[in-house]
């Protein structure tokens, strides 16, 4: 049997014989099967994919097991880094407060019992946790580096910027008080009455003193070795750019200027322009944490 296709454009006819028709149908069938397998694998089920999954699953799990072993090796190195960070901090003459835990993993062992392999989601969670911990060590060693490079520690911003007050907001992720969205808070907030004196956390040179749309009236002090501190939302600035200040010197008064919900001090410490957790610098006995949420930004 031949199939004849007619074209009105040039009045021509194309004849397709049985052999050509069979080849065309075979090609279409193979294409449909290939598409079904690809879509089924992408969706994780359906079509012909379930038949292939028993063959693919062991290969995928083997890759996950290999990654899990590598992750275990990384976690072991992080534990050693934890101790090393503390040693470096001690030699630098400071207490390096870690981003996560400072306690090494306890000794572990015992018989090999029933277990199960890590899923992809569980493995990803472990990798993210290890990444967060590694980022914490970067901050620790950055702080120690700045200390080792400085002949004296008088300029390091370790003095609390207020003689009294409660910490009303911490460094890190939180719910923004203005829009309710999750946002990263790059400093500490201290809820204190308006007009409370603000002190320089360390000796240095004033590099900014003026109004900022977000920070309000803000002073920024350069302590050298890429370390700066910021004091925001003040009602009045008592220093100007170029002034050399001493640790503990009064530089401003607490206020609620800029993006603020009430009188408080927003305090930041930055290393090479990147916000650091001020609690790594400030002495342990200088900060109280508020039990209730106070004004913040």
For the cut 90, the answer to whether the pLDDT of residue 35 exceeds it is no
- The band of 268, judged by pLDDT with boundaries at 50, 70 and 90, is very high
In 12-155, which ranges are continuous DSSP H helix? 18-43, 49-91, 120-149
> Which residues on neighbouring strands pair with residue 174, listed in sequence order?
183
Cβ atoms of 254 and 240 closer than 8 Å: no
Provide, for the chain, the percentages of residues in helix, strand and coil under a 3-state DSSP scheme, each rounded to the nearest 5: 35, 25, 40
pLDDT beyond 90 at 256: yes
Q: Where are the domains of the chain?
A: 3-43, 65-103+116-149, 166-286
pLDDT band (50, 70, 90) for residue 90:
low
Distance CA 169, CA 265 (A): 10
Residue 46 or residue 219, greater confidence: 219
Percent of the chain predicted with pLDDT > 70: 52
Locate 93 and state its tokens: 């003459």
Residue 193 CA to residue 253 CA, distance in Å, equals: 10
Check whether 215 has a pLDDT greater than 80.
yes
CA distances from 265 to 76, 118, 258 (A): 40, 46, 12
- Note the pTM of the prediction, 2 decimals: 0.51
What is the rounded CA–CA span in Å between residue 230 and residue 217?
A: 11
User: Which CATH superfamily is 166-286 part of?
Assistant: Glucose Permease (Domain IIA) (2.70.70.10)
Structure-token match 């572990």, residue found: 108
**Is 243:222 a contact under the CB 8 Å cutoff?**
no
pLDDT tens-digit series, residues 150-191: 545 557 898 999 988 888 888 888 877 777 777 888 999 999
């Amino acid at each position: 049997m031949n199939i004849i296709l007619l074209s009105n454009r040039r009045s021509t006819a194309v004849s397709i014989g049985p052999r050509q028709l069979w080849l065309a149908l075979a090609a279409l069938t193979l294409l449909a099967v290939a598409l079904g397998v690809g879509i089924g694998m992408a969706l994780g089920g359906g079509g012909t994919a379930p038949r292939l999954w028993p063959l693919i699953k062991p290969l995928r799990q083997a890759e996950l097991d290999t990654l899990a072993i590598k992750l275990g090796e990384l976690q072991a190195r992080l534990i050693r880094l934890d101790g090393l960070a503390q040693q470096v901090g001690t030699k630098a003459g400071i207490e390096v407060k870690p981003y996560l835990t400072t306690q090494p993993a306890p000794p572990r062992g015992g018989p090999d019992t029933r277990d199960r392999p890590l899923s992809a989601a569980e493995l990803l969670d472990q990798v993210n946790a290890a990444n967060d911990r590694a980022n914490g060590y970067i901050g620790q060693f950055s702080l120690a580096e700045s200390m080792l490079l400085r002949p004296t520690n008088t300029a390091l911003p370790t003095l609390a910027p207020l003689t009294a007050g409660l910490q009303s907001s911490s460094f890190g992720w939180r719910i923004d008080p203005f829009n309710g969205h999750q946002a990263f808070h790059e400093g500490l907030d201290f809820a204190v009455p308006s007009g409370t004196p603000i002190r320089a956390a360390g000796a240095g040179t004033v590099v900014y003193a003026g109004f900022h749309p977000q920070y309000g009236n803000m002073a920024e002090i350069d302590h050298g070795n890429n370390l700066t501190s910021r004091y925001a939302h003040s009602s009045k600035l008592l220093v100007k750019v170029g002034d050399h200040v001493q640790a503990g010197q009064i530089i401003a008064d607490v206020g609620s200027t800029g993006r603020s919900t009430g009188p408080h001090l927003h305090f930041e410490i930055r290393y090479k322009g990147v916000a650091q957790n001020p609690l790594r610098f400030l002495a342990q006995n200088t900060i109280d944490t508020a039990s209730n949420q106070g004004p913040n930004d």
